[in-house]
């Protein structure tokens, strides 16, 4: 029989860890002296201690280890852990790519995040603009018409509103645009206002601060970032107008989020 200190040395587990595993019912001493409280282990328990240490190094939880040591199919548990670790690795790769981009961008003008946009019902409207700035008149007009058609219809909280440019190339004029805003349910439609459901969408996101005339620089950045980091675009980029002429006096304070759907 081995005292807990001796067992600790042989198993390479701290006394604190052994007491923790005992409390969790994972590695219980063979006997405990009722007078002194001293704990004693059998040498055969060193094998269990080694398994526990190895499993913990693989990031298995206490419950997962208990399940394996109680006879559960270890292959099933390891397969599930492999899936979880793969997901973690992908998340780490994303973080590393963002850090790399920040390090390479001396001015750090744009910082990329990856996020998931939940599915939503949106009302939308499409038109052709004479120039890009005309969108600032088109967007509120769409909202006003939708409210007239559906006075009780509410936007989602948090709100989600964006524009997509439908042309396959940059155009100086005759620009086809689609404006969408998330709402709680579908409603009455008109020749202009329609409803649709957008699916859950994974996007690369950056924020552009300043005039819209320079926003092409932001698009160039996010497209290059996607290409350099192995992301494949999966739809039209979305422009979300956070701050603009309606609430900021200076054009330098205008803030636009660009979201690029990716696979």
The rounded distance, in Å, linking the Cα atoms of 155 and 122 is 9
Averaged pLDDT for residues 182-207: 95
Share of the chain above pLDDT 90, in %: 54
Most confident of 29-43, 83-97, 124-138, 142-156: 142-156
Averaged pLDDT for residues 119-144: 92
Averaged pLDDT for residues 15-35: 91
Report the pLDDT value the prediction gives residue 220, as an integer from 0 to 100. 87
Report the pLDDT value the prediction gives residue 98, as an integer from 0 to 100. 63
Report the pLDDT value the prediction gives residue 102, as an integer from 0 to 100. 60
Report the pLDDT value the prediction gives residue 230, as an integer from 0 to 100. 87
Averaged pLDDT for residues 106-135: 86
The rounded distance, in Å, linking the Cα atoms of 243 and 209 is 9
Both structure tokens of 22: 């005992």
Assess if CATH 1.10.1660.10 describes domain 2-74: yes
Mean predicted lDDT score pLDDT of the chain: 89
39-76 burial code (b ≥16 CB/10 A, e <16): bbbeeebbebbeebeebeeeebeeebbbbbeeeeeeee
Share of the chain above pLDDT 70, in %: 95
| CB-based contact 121:182 (threshold 8 Å) | yes
- In the chain, where are the structural domains located? 2-74, 113-261
| CB-based contact 160:181 (threshold 8 Å) | yes
Averaged pLDDT for residues 163-192: 91
Report the pLDDT value the prediction gives residue 155, as an integer from 0 to 100. 94
**Which has more confidence, 114 or 121?**
121
pTM for this entry: 0.60
**Which has more confidence, 241 or 197?**
197
HSE of 13, CA atoms in CB hemisphere, 13 A: 24
Averaged pLDDT for residues 191-205: 95
**Partners of residue 176 on adjacent β-strands:** 128
Inter-residue long-range contacts of 168-171, CB under 8 Å, 24+ positions, other chains counted: 170/216
Report the pLDDT value the prediction gives residue 118, as an integer from 0 to 100. 94
Averaged pLDDT for residues 60-77: 91
Class in CATH terms, 113-261: alpha beta
The rounded distance, in Å, linking the Cα atoms of 259 and 188 is 28
Report the pLDDT value the prediction gives residue 120, as an integer from 0 to 100. 96
69-120 pLDDT tens trace: 888 998 999 999 898 888 888 778 767 766 666 666 555 578 888 899 999 9
DSSP-derived secondary structure for 56-109: HHTT--HHHHHHHHTT--HHHHHHHHHHHHHHHHHHHHHHHHHHHHHHH-TT--
217-241 pLDDT tens trace: 888 889 988 988 889 999 999 999 8
Report the pLDDT value the prediction gives residue 107, as an integer from 0 to 100. 52
Q: Residue 146: exposed, middle, or buried by beta-carbon count in 10 A (0-12, 13-18, 19+)?
A: buried
Both structure tokens of 236: 């039209």
Distances (CA, A) of 73 to 67, 83, 116: 8, 16, 34
């Amino acid at each position: 029989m081995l005292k807990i200190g001796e067992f600790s040395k042989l198993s390479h587990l701290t006394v604190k860890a052994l007491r923790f595993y005992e409390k969790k019912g994972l590695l219980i001493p063979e006997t405990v002296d009722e007078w002194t409280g001293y704990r004693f282990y059998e040498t055969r328990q060193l094998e269990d201690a080694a398994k526990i240490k190895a499993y913990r190094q693989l990031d298995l939880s206490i419950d997962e280890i208990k399940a394996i040591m109680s006879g559960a199919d270890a292959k099933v548990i390891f397969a599930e852990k492999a899936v979880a670790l793969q997901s973690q690795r992908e998340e780490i790769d994303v973080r590393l790519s963002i850090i790399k981009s920040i390090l390479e961008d001396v001015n750090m003008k744009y910082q990329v995040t990856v996020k998931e946009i939940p599915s939503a019902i949106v009302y939308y409207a499409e038109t052709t603009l004479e120039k890009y700035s005309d969108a600032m008149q088109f967007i509120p007009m769409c909202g006003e018409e939708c409210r007239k058609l559906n006075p009780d219809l509410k936007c989602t909280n948090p709100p989600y509103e964006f524009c997509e440019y439908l042309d396959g190339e940059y155009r100086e004029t005759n620009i086809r645009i689609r404006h969408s805003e998330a709402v709680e349910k579908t409603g009455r439609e008109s020749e202009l206002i329609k409803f649709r459901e957008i699916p859950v969408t994974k996007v690369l996101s950056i924020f552009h601060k300043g005039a819209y005339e320079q926003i092409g620089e932001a698009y160039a950045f996010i497209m290059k970032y996607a290409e350099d980091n192995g992301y494949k675009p999966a739809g039209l980029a979305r422009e979300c107008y956070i701050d603009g002429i309606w609430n900021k006096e200076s054009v330098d304070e205008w803030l636009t989020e660009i979201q690029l759907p990716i696979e």
